[in-house]
Amino acid sequence: MTFQELPNAKKKKSHIWILPLSFEKTVCGKKGTAKAPKAIIDASLDTEYYEEEYDWSPFKYIRLYTGKNFSRIKNFKKLDLRIKKFLKNHNGQFLLTLGGEHSITPFVTKHLLPANSTIIFFDAHGDFRKTYLGSKNNHACALYNLAKQGHKAIAIGLRSFFDDERQRMDELGIKCFTDFDLQKKSKQKELFKGIKNLKSNVYISIDMDCFSPGFVSGVGTPLPGGIEWFFFLKILKSIFENKNINILGADIVELLPEKSKVSQVIAAKIMQKIFSYWGKSKGYDKLEQKGSQMDIDYE
């Protein structure tokens, strides 16, 4: 089982690694996000190799490795061990992680990111609680735990959080752009300026409930409002167009697979966009065509 059924390249010789983390331990709303990694990979068959915006087929040039272990992870200790094992011998490959709940993100960044990196955090919720329901690793603590690791962050699309969460964000220098903020052109301009001025290692975390529930309904805790598709792509593209940052990875979390497959196809399309933007930013389109797609027999 691989993204778009592309032949799995040898892991050490790949440019991109996909890490599935079927983890669901602290969800509060509808359950089922542990099934998302497999569902998203399955849905990737409904996307094509050609990426229309940049007018290229990324995997003619890029070699991809999709992790093979989709089994459910029982606890945080085993989550940490699986990530650590997967990243053994990591040597600069772009990492795309599929959750699972948002609590996975700090465990991934612990093993992937240097100190003082920047997290671009798309979410409907603040996720800035110190503890929730007796757990410091709860999904509602994800962004707070990232800040505790010493990372800076830009939070985008928030529309449900406590006032003390907002206060802690301000105290720790987290740049917060609420969904309401982003209805204003001045705030949009401020966001893009902040992204343009970044000069650090960067990690992108995408909670699928950041989107409008009319667009992505397959989430456990949907909320009215939310980011629309082309505005999201504009933000995402601006990150990859910044030549002064090093984007080490991204994750897609909190998706709840649905029978229509619409939400998981959208997640797969986001993956394609990320791979395309990353490949273009690294100049892979200028190289010889030796990517995963070139090993496919179309006959």
And the tokens for 52? 């229309």
Is 80 exceeded by the pLDDT of residue 298? no
Spatial distance between the Cα atoms of 117 and 151, rounded to a whole number of angstroms: 5
| Cβ 251 vs Cβ 98: under 8 Å | yes
| In the chain, domain spans | 3-295
pLDDT at 16 over 90: yes
**CA 207 and chain centroid, separation:** 7
Angle at 246 between CA 270 and CA 68, to 5 degrees: 50
What is the average pLDDT across 210-221? 96
Q: What is the CATH number of domain 3-295?
A: 3.40.800.10
Model confidence, pTM: 0.97
- Measure the N-to-C terminal CA separation of the chain; round to a whole number of Å: 21
Structure tokens at 152: 């800076």
Q: Say whether pLDDT at 143 is over 70.
A: yes
Mean pLDDT score of the chain, rounded to an integer? 96
pLDDT tens-digit map of 246-281: 999 999 999 999 999 999 999 999 999 999 999 999
**Banded pLDDT at 299 (limits 50, 70, 90):** low
Task: Look up residue 271 and give its two tokens.
Answer: 């993956």
Tokens matching residue 161 = 């959080």
**SS3 per-residue string spanning 232-258:** HHHHHHHHHCCCCCEEEEEEEECECCC
The per-residue pLDDT for range 158-198, each reduced to its tens digit, is: 999 999 999 999 999 999 999 999 999 999 999 999 999 99
- For residue range 116-139, list pLDDT tens digits in order: 999 999 999 999 998 878 889 889
